[in-house]
Structure formats: C-alpha cells, structure tokens
Amino acid sequence: MTIGYVGLVFTAARQFGRQLKEEEKTRHEIIQQSRQRFLTEKTTLEERKKSLSDEAFKIFTLYEMTKEITKQVSADEAFEIFKRHLSQHVIFKNCQFLEPLSSGLKDIAADNFIFTLQDKRGKIGYLAIEGLDDNDQEKVVILGHQFALALRRVNLYREIEKIAITDSLTEVHTRRHFMERLQEELSRSKARKIKMSVLMIDVDHFKSFNDQYGHLTGDQILRKMAQILKENIREIDIAGRYGGEEFCVLLPDTDREGAKYAAERIRQATEKSEIEAYDNTVKATVSIGLATFPKDGQSVDELIEKADQALYQAKQTGRNRVWA
C-alpha cells in the first residue's frame, strides 16, 4: 500500500511538472508575441514619423522655394534660389543648370546625378549634381520638379514679354516700347551729361509699292527694311516701328556726326538691297531725319518732333537722303 501511494504521488508530480512546463512555454510564447507586436508597432510608428517628416520637408521646402522663385523673371536667378534651398537639405559638391541644347552635357562626369527638367512640350534643361549621396536623390527629384515648373513660368513670362514689345510683322520693337526706352535713355543721358540721337526713317514711295504690287509685297518690304536696320546698328542701339512704313532708331551715347554716319550706313544698305517679294523683285530707298540731345531738345516729344521735321526736309529735298 505504501508503494502504491508513492507511485501515485510520483505520477501526480510528473504531470504537475509537465503542466508547469507547458504553462511556462505558453507564457514565453505570449511574451514573445507581445514583444514582436511591440517591435512591429514601433517600426510602423517610426515609418509614419519618417513619412510625416518627409512630407513636411516637401511641403515647407517647396512652399518656401516656390514663394521665392515666383518673384523672379530670370532663369539664372531662379536657379540660384533652387541651388540655395537644395544646399540646405542635401550635401553636394557642385550643381549646374544646362540648357536643353547645351553641348556641355557631354563633358559632365559619369558619376554626376543628372535630372532632366521637362514641361509639356519636352525638355527645358538639365540639372547636373556632383557628389550627391544616393539617399538624397529623391529630395533632388522633388525640388527638381518644382524648379522645372518655375523655369516653365520664367520662359512663359519671357515669351509673353517678347510678344508684348515686338512688332508682329517686322520683329523690331513696338512704338510703345521704343518710347519707353527712349525716355529711359534720355534720363540716363541727362544724368551722365552725354549725348544721344534719334533717327526717324520712312520708306520712300511706299504707297506706290502697295498700289502697284499689293499689300503682301508691301509687308515684305517692311520686313526687309527691319532686317536692314538690325544688321546696320550696334547691339546697344534700339530699332522700332513707329507706325505704317515709318521706323525709328535710338542711338545711345551718339553725337550728331555719329548719328549721320549711322543713318547714312542704313540709307546705303537699303539702296543696294534687292527685295524678293513673292513673284516680284523690287528696290526701295529711305529718307532719314535725325535729332540729337541736348541740342535739338530736352524732352522725348521735342526730340521726336525735331527728327520728324528733319525727315520731312529729307523728303521735300528729293528723298533717299539723310537730313540733320
């Protein structure tokens, strides 16, 4: 009986031990699962935190950069703003902006990060960044897309500005823009006490060309006249269409003798030119009147009036000549 009792106790002890082991195993598994859930939740929170941080970077960086760039009307100024904002968030050695047709792209080292700037019409340039870490490429892409939008706006502004100040037929400046530049140059000449001159140019017998050959030929004569002007003035000079067949040229820092020389060069170039106008080949001449600041006037109106009077004298005395 004693032996049976001892065996029963031993069996019960073994079962109790197994039960304790199973409970310990279960508790360990629960602890492991809890720990795994904690690590997963921690990772998720860290990812969300990074995502929010990245999103905040995008929003605030893009906002600040866009706000500053939209005040600019120059591609170079916009690029400098982009580069400054980029340097605040990523490390790089050098950053270049290349025009879409730039030959410099082939000289860029292979280890540079190249980002293509595009709009709806195609490529508008490239960003070449030296010494950029691979982990920072996404930030460059984000800012690069925004810079492309800003660049598109700059280009659009430039196109609109050109349209606004350019005569659509002749592609010289409009009368309004010419008069604005004349006023600016007159103010500059007064401040620096230097001379400047104005030419008024009229195509001789232009009405006869229109009557004989038609208005399309007349338009071609005006285009050719504008081309002759642009080919025979300096880079600092400004040519404009004053109205109809009448053109005007602003000659900064030019005295009367210099203005006569410039006017005579234009007159001779016109006289020598043959103008191809559809089925017709015609020759035209011009009469030119000039006025010089300060002798002929102290205001824009006075200078234009004096130049116009000189033009009238050139026409009255036989046309195809310069009158001062």
Q: How does pLDDT run across 227-271, given as a tens digit for each residue?
A: 999 999 999 999 999 999 999 999 999 999 999 999 999 999 999
- Among 230, 213, 232, which Cα is nearest to 283's? 213
For residue 91, CA distances in Å to 20, 36, 58, 241 come to 59, 37, 17, 52
| 220 in the same domain as 294 | yes
| 159 in the same domain as 180 | no
Confidence (pLDDT) at 89: 82
In whole angstroms, what is the distance from residue 124 CA to residue 126 CA? 7
In whole angstroms, what is the distance from residue 24 CA to residue 322 CA? 114
Domain boundary pick from 165, 188, 208: 165
| 232 in the same domain as 144 | no
| 202 in the same domain as 305 | yes
- Residue 56 scores a pLDDT above 50: no
Residue 57, domain member (yes or no): no
- Among 99, 90, 139, 94, which Cα is nearest to 117's? 99
| 187 in the same domain as 144 | no
What angle is formed at CA 203 by the lines to CA 246 and CA 222, rounded to 5 degrees?
75
- Residue 74 scores a pLDDT above 70: yes
Question: Are the C-beta atoms of 149 and 120 separated by less than 8 Å?
Answer: no
| 289 in the same domain as 196 | yes
For residue 164, CA distances in Å to 79, 159, 198, 247, 289 come to 25, 9, 22, 18, 27
Q: Supply the pTM of this predicted model.
A: 0.64
Confidence (pLDDT) at 60: 46
Active site residues: 245
Domain boundary pick from 108, 138, 165: 165
Residue 45, domain member (yes or no): no
In whole angstroms, what is the distance from residue 184 CA to residue 274 CA? 36
Please, what's the b/e burial string for 3-22 (b: 16 or more CB within 10 A of its CB; e: otherwise)? Answer: eeeeeeeeeeeeeeeeeeee
Confidence (pLDDT) at 52: 47
Residue 55, domain member (yes or no): no
Mean pLDDT rounded to a whole number for the chain: 85
- Eight-state DSSP code of residue 93: S
Mean pLDDT over residues 23-51, rounded?
72
Residue 132, domain member (yes or no): yes
| 110 in the same domain as 215 | no
Q: What are phi and psi of 191, to 5 degrees?
A: -65, -35
Residue 18, domain member (yes or no): no
Mean pLDDT over residues 109-114, rounded?
87
Residue 240, domain member (yes or no): yes
Confidence (pLDDT) at 322: 97
Report which of residues 247 and 99 the model is more confident about.
247
| 299 in the same domain as 179 | yes
What is the band of 315 on the pLDDT scale with cuts at 50, 70, 90? very high
Residue 4, domain member (yes or no): no
Split into its structural domains, the chain has a count of 2
- What CATH number has the domain bearing residue 260? 3.30.70.270
Residue 315, domain member (yes or no): yes
**Dihedral sign for Cα atoms in the order 137, 142, 145, 151:** negative
Confidence (pLDDT) at 62: 55
Domain boundary pick from 165, 196, 217: 165
Confidence (pLDDT) at 87: 86
In whole angstroms, what is the distance from residue 232 CA to residue 89 CA? 51
| 180 in the same domain as 146 | no
Mean pLDDT over residues 44-56, rounded?
60
Domain range for 215 is 175-323
- Residue 293 scores a pLDDT above 80: yes
Question: Are the C-beta atoms of 323 and 310 separated by less than 8 Å?
Answer: yes
Please name the residue that has the structure tokens 């280009």: 155
- Eight-state DSSP code of residue 132: -
What is the band of 224 on the pLDDT scale with cuts at 50, 70, 90? very high
